[in-house]
Amino acid sequence: MMKLTAATSGFVLAAAITVLFNTALSCAKDAYTPLKVVMKSVAGHDWTTQGLIDLALFVGLGLIFMSTRAAERIDSSHLIASLIGAVVIAGLGLCIWFALV
């Protein structure tokens, strides 16, 4: 079984969380117009603001998980499965959301 470094494991976990957060934020801003307006005012377009928020969340969580070595204690196959699962859930969630909206 391979062992991931603290940086790799931390950023894999951060990616899984960020993917799910991105999906939730996409749905929330489409469902709640005032949020979309605020996000548009921050960076000129709501998607630009969303990308910046996602980037900040990913880097911030990755650095926290790396420095605390919290994700390093999780089995590498579980981390990878979590990331794959998060991407599948996010993809299906967005497909269903945009099909219904």
With bands split at pLDDT 50, 70 and 90, how would you rate the model's confidence at 2?
A: confident
Residue 53 contacts residue 25 (beta carbons within 8 Å)? yes
What is d(CA 37, CA 14) in angstroms, rounded to the nearest whole number? 27
The pTM of the full predicted model, rounded to 2 decimals, is: 0.92
Q: How far apart are CA 30 and CA 23, in angstroms?
A: 11
Token pair 């790799």: residue: 8
- Element spanning 23, H or E: helix 6-31
Name the residue with tokens 């470094």: 5
For residue 69, give the DSSP letter.
T
15-70 pLDDT per residue, tens? 999 999 999 999 999 999 999 999 999 999 999 999 999 999 999 999 999 999 98
Per-residue tokens: 21: 């957060």
Residues whose CB falls within 8 Å of the CB of residue 74, separated by 6 or more in sequence, listed in order = 9, 13
